[in-house]
A = this chain, B = another copy of it.
Amino acid sequence: MKPDFSKLDGLIPAIVQDFKTNEILMLGFMNEEAWDKTLDTKKATFYSRTRNKIWMKGEESGNIQEVKDILIDCDNDTVLLKVNQIGGAACHTGYRSCFYRAVSDKDLAELKVVGEKIFNPEEKYGSGKK
């Protein structure tokens, strides 16, 4: 048996949570190859929908995610990774979490930054990356 990859064209959502603080760091998608690789290496690995390829989180930035625990939901179609976030930040923008903005209205007119910025993305990736 495997997680149920059938509902989302071969993908499952993978929630990434800090194993110490329980803060949500990001959400990625996995195909079966990314799932197997994550289990084999204990480093969070995803499938990029925009680049159409497997990527290990932190392969460029160094901010890898060491997988401490994996939980699966009641329908076997979503997983939750509890990780040790190397470098202290998951988001390519430099924030600790990708969820660094609070929403107060349905049209996203007033997004309020509530997260903590850990690094400067231009220094980390060079100016070529947004």
**With contacts A22-B22, A24-B80 known, is A108 near B72, CB below 8 A?**
yes
Check if A53 is an interface residue, CB within 8 A of chain B: no
Copies in the complex: 2
A68-95 CB mask vs B (1 if < 8 Å, else 0) is 0111111110111000000000011101
Among A26, A27, A102: residue with most chain B CB under 10 A: A27
Check if A49 is an interface residue, CB within 8 A of chain B: yes
A-B contact pairs, 5 of them (CB 8 A): A2-B108, A22-B22, A22-B23, A70-B104, A75-B98
What is A's interface to B at a CB cutoff of 8 Å? 1-3, 7-8, 13, 15, 17, 21-24, 26-27, 35-36, 39-40, 49, 69-76, 78-80, 91-93, 95, 98-109, 111, 114
